Amino acid sequence: MRLDTHRVKQYSILVVDYNDCCFADIYSDGEVDIRFKAHSEVPKKHKKGGQSAARFGRIRDSEITKWFKRIDYYLKEVPPNIHLGISFVYQKRFLKTLSTENKDKITKITKTEYADITGIYQYINKMGV
């Protein structure tokens, strides 16, 4: 008996937070193929420091914007039909940073808590696919 090894890509998942991102293709046979993973250089929140705290906050905001622009650059080579998993805290800011071309590639947005391979599997479990 010959097994049919032909698989069809159903959709792609991108999970993002301020620290990591992971992009994977999901196939009809349940296979998950990681296309890229990246880690940001965004510093952690600064808790103490008086006047310095505000300065570190501005630096952190700037780094988050640079991080989201870097993800936008990665998405230029990706085909449409992307499912986005992102915390609602960053969703509006992330979508503002994306180019119109990349925004149009996103077909569904769901809240996720993780942004690595764990986030991909969490997204799949939430969708029930």
pLDDT in tens, 57-68: 888 899 999 999
Task: Provide the pLDDT for residue 4.
Answer: 52
pLDDT at 52: 75
Average pLDDT over every residue of 75-93: 92
Instruction: Of 104, 69, 106, 111, give the one whose Cα is nearest residue 87.
Output: 111
| pTM, two decimal places | 0.85
Query: Please, what are the domains in the chain?
Result: 9-127 (3.30.420.60)
The sheet carrying 20-27 orders its strands as 32-39, 20-27, 9-16, 82-86, 106-110
The yes-or-no verdict on residue 91 having pLDDT over 60 is: yes
Average model confidence (pLDDT) across the chain: 87
